[in-house]
Amino acid sequence: MNIKLAEKIELDSIQMRDVYAGCIVGMIEHGEPVMVLDADLMRPLGILPYKDKYPENIIDCGIAEANMIGVACGLSAEGFVPFTHSFAAFASRRVMDQVFMSGAYARQNVKMVGSDPGVCAALNGGTHMAFEDVAMMRAVPEMTIIEPTDAVMLEDLLPKIAHSRGMVYLRLCRTETERIYAPGSDFEIGRAAVLREGNDLTIIASGREVPEAVRAAGLLSARGISARVLDMFTVKPLDAGAVERAAVGTGAIVTAENHNIIGGLGSAVAELTSELCPVPVERVGVRDSFGVVGKTEYLMRRFALTAEDIVNSAMRVLERKRTEDSGRDKE
């Protein structure tokens, strides 16, 4: 893995769906056995303009997500590499039996895209706002879960996902994201990217929360606090080595995710540290709530997902760390 950071964090001019569509169509044009299946959402993901050009590779399955996964598993059994898509709420809730039995249990090779996760659903509201999709997919044996941070990462990872073997859930923002990485960065599935070194605590973030984590580290630095920042874009398999090094090296961890704190990245990190190196952990994320209608900026504040919320959690975890250190000194 060889990452290069962008000179500054700013909203990218490239939409994630354009990168996705371009990469997928590029693989089709190069003769790779890629099939694209969609649940009546080709336009939102940027695939619709290519449907007539590649009718044998691009299939609209209609609003029948479970059936779409069944079709994808059949295509996989015949040697194709199917990419399926629906909004994350429907790409997870409506398909679990097919994902588990026809896909994972049968050792098929389906790449599932769930778009607009969490607060990215914005004005589509609570019915379309998936705060539980990672938790559901984490429970499926041998599932790989990836949440690309920006367009640079997505462009690098898509061919690697296509050439990997097994079930993959790709949690994807469709529109613009804030750019973290410079072009030419190379990522490895299953390994966290270290965005900033630090000694006092570690912030482990994914997806929409990565730019917030970097900003939070800057705010903490102004207070004289040194925060390590990890981009945990692969939620499963979790980079256990990076988490253990963070626990040992900094003694305190804050996780940040655009997801329920139950069953997601925070749960995965807390489960791991409790076994390998117990340290104080604070989790920034949605706290057992349903989604609501609102613009993303409002939802970030509503669900306490901002850089300032990460800073507040960092101060709490540092206080817990000091208390535990003081207790050990008295023993």
> What are φ and ψ of residue 235, in 5° steps?
-80, -30
SS3 206: coil
Residue written as tokens 């804030």? 178
105 vs 108: CA distance, rounded Å? 8
Reference 69, options 45, 35, 18; nearest CA is 35
190 vs 299: CA distance, rounded Å? 29
Helix axes 210-222, 307-330, angle to 10 degrees: 60
Catalytic-labelled residue, pool 65, 178, 209, 212: 65
Which residues partner with 5 through β-bridges?
Answer: 181
- Peptide bond connecting 237 to the previous residue in cis, omega within 30 degrees of 0: yes
Mark whether 65 is an active-site residue. yes
Half-sphere exposure of 71 (CA within 13 A, CB side): 20
Residue written as tokens 């336009």? 43
> Where in the sequence numbering do the catalytic residues fall?
65
